[in-house]
Amino acid sequence: MEMGLTGFGAHYPGQLSGGMQQRVAMARALAVEPQILFMDEPLSSLDALTRERLQNLMQEIRLKKNITMVLVTHAIEEAVFLGRRIIVLSGRPGRVLRIVDNPQAGSTDYRQTDIFFHRCVELREILKGEDYGQNVTLSWLH
């Protein structure tokens, strides 16, 4: 599995960027071939193109290895692209605001569709209705 770390095998963790350290953590978690994988903001400190590439890779891994993934993100577009079921949570105390089914999630061209755009708008509207602002978290499972 390619995590974009070729050539860094001899580096110490402190010599890697935050994004590289997150990718190493993801590779370590996947190395044990789990049936369920829980991830909290696994792509948060990556640049946009690397983030999209790894989102695509996560979809490939999920399908090839039949892994259930539960992820937490604050990125609406990431939740919509990856999440077949999106659970929108409030800030503290956490409660479920809405569960949104998203059966189109994961196809590589999904980001360019009207459905993707409208689903992102739908989630933004749910979040705008909350007084919790930045504390609202999106989580999803596959």
Q: Count how many domains the chain has.
A: 1
Structural domain including 62 reads 15-141
| Residue 108 resides in a domain | yes
- 8 is a domain residue: no
Model confidence at 135: pLDDT above 80: no
Q: Look at strands 85-89 and 137-141 and give their pairing.
A: antiparallel
Answer whether residue 60 is part of any domain. yes
Per DSSP, 97 falls in state E
Cα–Cα dist 106/44, whole Å? 19
Distance between CA atoms of 21 and 29, rounded to whole angstroms?
Answer: 12
Span 75-120, pLDDT tens digits: 999 999 999 999 988 877 778 888 999 998 878 789 999 999 999 9
In a domain, 64, yes or no: yes
6 belongs to a structural domain? no
pLDDT score at 114: 96
* Mean pLDDT over the full length of the chain: 83
For residue 55, the domain's CATH number is: 3.40.50.300
